Amino acid sequence: MKITVIQGPNINMLGKREQNIYGMMSMEDIHTQMKIVAEQNGVEIDFFQSNFEGEIVDKIQECLGDSDGIIINPAAYTHTSVAIRDAISAVGLPAIEVHISNLARREEFRQKSLISQVVAGQIMGFGPVSYHLAMIGMLQIFEQIKVVSAAQQTNEE
């Protein structure tokens, strides 16, 4: 199984920007921790970050046939990108939306996610631990897929 982690604009600035909101961990630190969890669970993991909407859409589309699930922090595009929403919907892969801060406690314009309706779930407000929780969630989704596939094979026999 393979998870692709997609990071949106300014996530590459974690640890430097607004530490009172986003904490002191860098994106690389978060990715290192996610890689450890993936290795412990026999899952391949790939990381991608872009400040450009079209590159994020391209990466989501590349996941079709290459990945089994997506963990995405669309960052500021959460609130504005119909294109990213449509790409997630189009590939049909399990996806989890992650945010370091709790969007419900942020400015009004940040409280609406265009992405939330096309993902399996949202995890937010736990700081960098949100990514760890998303990993646990995706691993559980993979387990459910295995169980359903095994049951379908049994029924076909």
Just list the catalytic residues. Answer: 22, 99
Residue 26 marked ligand-binding: no
**Residue linked to tokens 């604009």:** 9
CB neighbour list of residue 113: distance below 8 Å, 6 or more residues apart: 78, 79, 97, 103, 122
Please tell me whether 6 is known to bind a ligand: no
Question: Cα dist. 145→56, 80, 128 in Å?
Answer: 26, 31, 27
Strand residue runs (E) in 1-157: 2-7, 44-49, 69-73, 95-99, 121-124
For the record, the structure tokens of 107 come out as 């400015």
Tokens of 17: 């920007």
79 is in an annotated binding site: yes
Distance separating alpha carbons of residues 149 and 51, to the nearest angstrom: 37
Compute the distance between CA of residue 21 and CA of residue 10 in angstroms, rounded to an integer. 13
Say if residue 41 carries a ligand binding annotation.
Answer: no
Annotation: binding site for substrate: 73, 79, 86, 100-101, 110
